[in-house]
């Protein structure tokens, strides 16, 4: 994920999640991408929730990777500074 984000700074976090195959929960209110009715409020909510989950996952992984890289530069591994 770190490498993908560094190589593609123009992409959104959701696009980076797709490119890096970051795993997320893909069930929203009992619907999956195959079962949610298209062009409905449920479909809009499904897309919004999935996009947000992707963003949060990429941000979390990037933050953790940044902390590991920072600590490696200090000669410490595996150590994270904070949550």
Domains of the chain: which residue ranges? 2-73
Higher pLDDT, 2 or 81: 2
Confidence (pLDDT) at 12: 96
Radius of gyration of the chain (CA): 16
User: Could you read off the pLDDT of 24-81 as tens digits, one per residue?
Assistant: 999 999 999 999 999 999 999 999 999 999 999 999 999 999 888 888 888 887 766 6
CA angle 38, 23, 55 (to 5 degrees): 70
Query: What is the dihedral sign for C-alpha 27, 32, 33, 39?
Result: negative
Q: Give the pLDDT score at 81.
A: 64
Whether a cis peptide bond, with omega within 30° of 0, leads into 21 is no
Q: How many CA atoms lie within 13 A of 79 on its CB side?
A: 9
- pLDDT: is 11 or 71 the higher one? 11
Distance of alpha carbon 39 from alpha carbon 53, whole angstroms:
21
């Amino acid at each position: 994920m770190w490498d993908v984000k560094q190589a593609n700074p123009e992409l959104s976090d959701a696009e980076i999640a797709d490119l890096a195959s970051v795993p997320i929960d893909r069930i929203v209110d009992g619907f999956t991408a195959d079962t949610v009715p298209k062009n409905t409020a449920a479909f809009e909510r499904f897309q919004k929730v999935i996009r947000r989950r992707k963003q949060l996952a990429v941000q979390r992984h990037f933050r953790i990777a940044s902390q590991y890289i920072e600590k490696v530069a200090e000669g410490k591994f595996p150590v994270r500074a904070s949550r």
